[in-house]
A and B are shown apart, each in its own frame.
Chain A
Amino acid sequence: MTIYSETLVIGSGPCASHVADNLAEQGIGVTWVTGNVTDAVNTIALQPPARVNRVQGSALVGCQGQAGSFRIILDQGGVRTAHGVASIIVAEEALYLPNFSEYGLQASRRVVTLSAIEAKARDVALESLIPPEARVVFLNGWRRDSHPAIAARMLAFCLRLQKISTARTVFMTGNLKVSMDHMEACCQAAKAAGAIFVKFGDRVPRMAMLDDTRVQIDYHDETSGMDFRVSADLVIVDETVHAHPSLAGIAEILRLERDATGFLQADNVHRLSNSTNRRGVFVAGGSRAVAGAEQQKADAGQVALQVVEFLAGRDRESLRTVDIDQGRCARCLTCYRLCPYMAIDISPRMTVVAQACQSCGLCAAGCPNQAIRMSDAGVPEAIEALSRIEGNPARSVPFTPRLAIFGCNRSAALAREAAFALGHKLSAGVTFVEGLCGGSFSVNHLLKAFEADADGVLLLSCHEGNCHSGTGTSHARKRCAEAAKALSWAGVEPQRIHYGTLSASMGCEFVQVVDDFVTRIAALGPLTR
């Protein structure tokens, strides 16, 4: 397999430019595709950094292969070219849509978006833009809350207008967002300069267009409890932040997870900061819902470090080797479907691509022929250790159940340590079996524990939405249900298997769930074989 050293940066705006620049500075070859011209949200003419091969007006249309050896196809005006890259960084800008409809307004000479007025103010002096003594109303986050980055820009423009022009500004908002640096101070300064702040309560303002095209707004101010009317010479309307429309296609081509709002990264703390579900594919800036110019620039820095770490093979501690026993493999494609990281290559034979694998063990646990072996997993040995628990708790009086707790090394294993740190102790007879993921335990593992004299089996995985492998949690839950069904077929109480979710910080909850399970199994009594 050819391992490439080039990288691909996708994006039409400043964030992609920063990423390309940062990578080029480290001596890394960069191809920068700017997307179709119609997709471009930032129409500024960006100069490509030196050493960057910018392919303007081009888009990614195909991708095969894995981390280190992606084979991509670019389309530029109908001409398709193939390239080999080691890593792909999606740094497309977010899409900002004007919020007119929210307020029942339409764009006009007197009703403009924040971006439009900001752009004009860059070229023209404020005095010529805003008539003297004009009443300027800012509409921000009325029915739906405003994005703090939009509110920050609005507030900064309001302050500027109030301070250096004769305009009289009114800032109307639902929740005034001040959760970005210096916003509260900016708000205080605007108030001191004479800007009026109005907060919508549950009563919605009424807007009407006057004959002279001014906008009349009747509103109820929640703070003073009074009704007011303002006739605005200029209304500045906020914008909403969305995932760029090109991200849907990019996600499909690169087989990436998206969050509920379409951004190119699952909303999962294990993806922090710039990871995706695929090794070698990173996401930055507006493609992962980072808004604000400074924040995007910072993101372009940290993503570059992560890309360099990946290219240099320094992004993980040690590689577990995963082998598919070709003699046992029936090419059923179960592993291919299970792998959340797209690390299984299917031709010419089924293989696990080490560069792309993140050692979650989902494939090995799901393989119906048990053809996949992971080095250093240690689960069978841990299960076997169950039968060697000293003394025989089963014969002790009162009965102390012998339990196997299967847990993910990212959550339950750490919760167990947190419990010890809080001074808790576990019941005697409990053996903890640490796995790479909640989904790394097979039905076979769970049943083997009973063969090794367990009276009960508890499987603890991460909360839904917190699983590093994405689907490990749901696989764990299903396998528990399957194993419980197998138990009842064998005439054993299915309650002897229990499934739960925990996170790394849940030390006392770990003890509670284990204690509850001990009580349940103690009530059931020893498992008679």
Chain B
Amino acid sequence: MMSSDRAFKELFVNLKGKQGVVIGAGVAGLTAAAALSRWGVQVWLIDKAPVIGGHAIQFSCKAIEGCVQCGACQVHERAQQVSRQKNITFVPGARIVRSRGNGRLELTLAASGQGAGQSAGRFPDTLNADALLVTTGFTVYDPSHKPYGYGQFANVLTNLDAERILHATGALARPSDGRLPRRMAFIQCVGSRDHRIGHDWCSKICCGSALRMARLVQSRQPGTAVTFFYIDVQSFGRQFQAIYDGCRERIRTVRAIPADIRKTADDDMQVTYFDPQDRNATDAVFDLVVLSAGLTPTADNAVLASVLGMRLLENGFFCPHDNDTQPPGMFAAGAALGPMSIAESIDSAGKAAFDMVRYLDGGRLR
């Protein structure tokens, strides 16, 4: 048997000096870039945004007394690890506009147009890549298509808006007047599990995000009454049952998705829903409503896939790279494949890194 020591040296020699391009610097891209760089692969980490970390860098920690495994801290920790690696170059504000070659790719970069002037936008015009990983994540569903007044009523937010406000200010106040809400509502499945708009998927993260956020708000802003409108509560993490049971004691859960939201004279939100208990259309007034807007395929997936010659699934997310469904040397991970939590994205990126190392080592994938 070949000694392991020799096997590692060979593997390292085979990988050192190879170039890897990772598109998307969210949690999946950061995880995969770090793994590749440990093997001496020169990694270019490209993102259309001017800052590293993707969506989750703006998420708030949901710990109350102890950690509840939301994973938000992992993005910060991994971003720092990546910034320390000499063989990872972060290329902000860039996108790929052309790809040539088979095996070794020549990629042409252009400015993404996001955050112009902030990042100085200096990056090479072209890059060579021996392997490429798509970790472009998701686009949050735009709920202005729903009758909830999003975009018109200041006190209707998406889950990501609420995350950003909590992260930036440490509290969740009403945007209209800065007052702390007394009666909050979370509405789940906005743009998820919605057959009529072709979204035949569960966004996976929203139940965990909303219930953890509800508990955080109740802990920081005591006396806040929370109502949770849902279809089915989805599991999240190993502590799911404990967290969910704890939530049910403090939160009113209503198995109904509201029909619409109207604004009252006080900037309060009047929510109309079909009450499953008394089986009547019911109105309830809240001073803040958070819509759990679903995770949808990134808006420019189709363009990126066509530039790279990669395949998308029917629903618009990237097709997994297993079973030779993607061109040689092209891989996909994280929420680019479909909705995923932070922990799942880390797993997905770890698996993609393993596949990429094997490919770069022998130019083969199983």
Q: Does B261 contact A (CB under 8 A)?
A: no
Contact A505 B38 (CB under 8 A): no
List the count of A-B residue pairs having beta carbons below 8 Å apart.
196
Rounded to whole Å, the gap between the CB of A336 and the closest CB of chain B is 27
Docked Cα-Cα span, A182 to B6, in Å, equals: 43
Q: Is the interface of A mostly helix, strand, loop or mixed?
A: loop
Say if the beta carbon of B141 comes within 8 Å of chain A.
Answer: no
Interface string of A453-475 (1 = CB under 8 A from B): 00000000011111000000000
Is B179 close to A, CB under 8 A?
no
**A25 to B359 alpha-carbon distance, docked (Å):** 13
- Which of A184, A464, A501 touches B200 (beta carbons < 8 Å)? A184
Task: Tell me which of A5, A259, A302 contacts B238 (CB under 8 A).
Answer: A259
A308→B5 CA distance, assembly (Å):
10
Are B343 and A272 within 8 A (Cβ)? yes
Contacts of B80 in A (CB 8 A): 414, 417
Q: From A260, A312, A417, A504, give the contact of B12 (CB < 8 A).
A: A312
The 5 A-B pairs at the shortest CB distance, nearest first, are namely A302-B350, A27-B7, A5-B4, A466-B67, A504-B76
State whether the Cβ of A26 lies closer than 8 Å to any Cβ in chain B.
yes
Contact A301:B234 (CB < 8 A) given known A179-B204, A184-B201 = no
Task: Assess whether B346 is interfacial by the CB under 8 Å rule.
Answer: yes
In the assembled complex, the CB of B230 is this many whole angstroms from the nearest CB of chain A, namely 9
The smallest C-beta distance from B156 to any residue of chain A, in angstroms, reads 23
Q: Is the CB of A269 within 8 A of B235?
A: no
Tell whether, in the assembled complex, residue B233 and residue A145 are in contact, meaning their CB atoms are under 8 Å apart: yes
**When chains A and B are docked, how far (Å) is the Cα of A159 from the Cα of B171?**
45
**Cα(A182)–Cα(B200), bound, Å:** 8
Given contacts A177-B232, A308-B11, contact A298 B202 (CB under 8 A): no
Cβ-defined partner of A508 (8 Å) among B2, B3, B75, B167: B167
Query: CB-defined interface of B234-267 with A at 8 Å, one 1/0 digit per residue?
Result: 1111111110100000000001000000000000
Per the bound structure, the CA–CA distance linking A252 and B308 in Å amounts to 50
Residues of chain B contacted by A410 (CB below 8 angstroms): 73, 77
* 15 A-B pairs with C-beta separation under 8 A: A27-B1, A28-B7, A145-B240, A176-B231, A184-B193, A302-B351, A305-B350, A308-B11, A312-B11, A315-B38, A411-B73, A418-B76, A502-B61, A505-B59, A509-B170
Most buried by A among B67, B169, B231, B234: B67
In the complex, how many angstroms separate the beta carbon of B241 from the nearest chain A beta carbon?
Answer: 6
Asked whether any CB of chain A lies closer than 8 Å to the CB of B154, the reply is no
Categorize the interface residue count of chain A: 35 or more
Asked whether A289 is an interface residue with its Cβ less than 8 Å from the other chain, the reply is yes
Contact between chains at B244 and A305 (CB < 8 Å): no
- Does residue B355 face the partner (Cβ distance < 8 Å to A)? yes
Residue A512, interface by CB 8 Å: yes
B residues less than 8 Å from A504 (CB atoms): 61, 72-74, 76-77
Q: Is A54 an interface residue (CB 8 A)?
A: no
CB of B357 within 8 A of chain A?
yes
Closest B residue to A512 by CB, please name it: B170
Contact flag A5-B240 (CB < 8 Å), given A183-B202, A225-B276, A306-B350: no
CB–CB B238/A175 < 8 A: no
CA distance A170 to B221 in the complex (A): 44
* Cβ-defined contact, B7 with A26, below 8 A: yes
The answer, yes or no, to whether A506 is at the interface (CB within 8 Å) is yes
Q: Which residue of A lies closest to B203 (CB)?
A: A179
Q: How near does chain B come to A514, taking the closest CB pair, in angstroms? A: 13
- Cβ-defined contact, B351 with A298, below 8 A: yes
Determine the residue in chain B with the shortest Cβ distance to A508: B170
Contacts of B38 in A (CB 8 A): 309, 314-315
| Interfacial chain A residues near B39, Cβ < 8 Å | 309, 314
Least Cβ distance of A366 to chain B in Å?
23
B329-352 near A? 1/0 per residue, CB < 8 Å: 000000000100001001110110
B6 to chain A, nearest CB (A): 8
Nearest B residue to A181 via CB reads B338
Shortest C-beta distance, B7 to chain A (Å), equals 3
Pair A175/B74 contact, Cβ less than 8 Å: no
Given A263-B238, A305-B353, A417-B80, 7 new contacts (CB under 8 A): A27-B10, A177-B235, A272-B346, A299-B347, A312-B8, A411-B73, A462-B67
Cβ of B67 to closest chain A Cβ, rounded Å: 4
- Give Cα A289–Cα B302 distance, bound, in whole angstroms: 35
Q: Counting chain B CB atoms within 10 Å of each CB, which of A260, A314, A317 scores highest? A: A314
- Digitize A1-23: 1 where CB-to-B-CB distance is under 8 Å, 0 elsewhere: 00001100000000000000010
| Interface assignment of A214: CB less than 8 Å from any CB of chain B | no
A177 CB to nearest B CB, Å:
6
B347's nearest neighbour on chain A, judged by CB, is: A273
Which residues of B from 41 to 69 have beta carbons under 8 Å from A? 57, 59-61, 63, 65-67, 69
CB distance from A144 to the nearest CB of B (A): 7
Chain A 496-519: CB-based contact to B (< 8 A → 1; otherwise 0):
000001111111110010000000
- The residue in chain B whose Cβ has the minimal distance to the Cβ of A4 is B4
Bound-state Cα–Cα, A304 to B24, Å: 25
Chain A residue contacts of B235, Cβ below 8 A:
145, 147-148, 177, 179
B354 touches A145 (CB 8 A): no
Residue of A261, A502, A508 with most partner-chain B CB within 10 A: A508
Asked if B168 contacts A422 (CB within 8 A), the reply is yes
Task: Report the Cα distance A288→B161, complex, angstroms.
Answer: 33
Q: Are A179 and B241 in contact (CB under 8 A)?
A: no
Cβ-defined contact, B202 with A179, below 8 A: yes
Q: How far is the CA of A183 from the CA of B315 in the complex (A)?
A: 13
Chain A residue with the shortest CB-CB distance to B80 = A414
Name which of B11, B170, B255 has the most chain A CB atoms within 10 A of its CB: B170
Q: For residue A148, which residues in chain B have a CB less than 8 angstroms away from its CB? A: 234-235
- Residues of chain A with a CB closer than 8 A to B244's CB: 145
Residues of B close to A26: CB separation below 8 A: 7, 11
